[in-house]
Amino acid sequence: MTDYKRAYHILCAAASHALDVLPDTPENAAGRTVIQEALLKAEDVCIESMDEDERSAEK
């Protein structure tokens, strides 16, 4: 079975690290924005999924 939580963590940590080391220059602004927005959307999906898992566990 695929461990999606682990894969999510690895990918998000790498993207976050890339943002930390990517120079904050005008040339990189668009790329930084894309990555930051994707990280926020992924976080929302993860939170929604956890809520659904918790609701299922209560039944």
- pLDDT tens figures, 7-29: 888 999 999 999 999 998 999 99
> pLDDT tier at 59 (50, 70, 90 boundaries)?
low
Asked if residue 34 has pLDDT above 90, the reply is yes
CA atoms within 13 A on the CB side of 19: 17
Token code pair at residue 41: 């959307």
Host domain of residue 20: 4-58
Measure the N-to-C terminal CA separation of the chain; round to a whole number of Å: 23
> pLDDT tier at 52 (50, 70, 90 boundaries)?
low
Q: Count up the domains in the chain and report the number.
A: 1
DSSP 22: S
The rounded percent of the chain whose pLDDT value lies above 70 is 83
Contacts of 16 (CB under 8 A, 6+ apart): 39
pTM of the model: 0.68
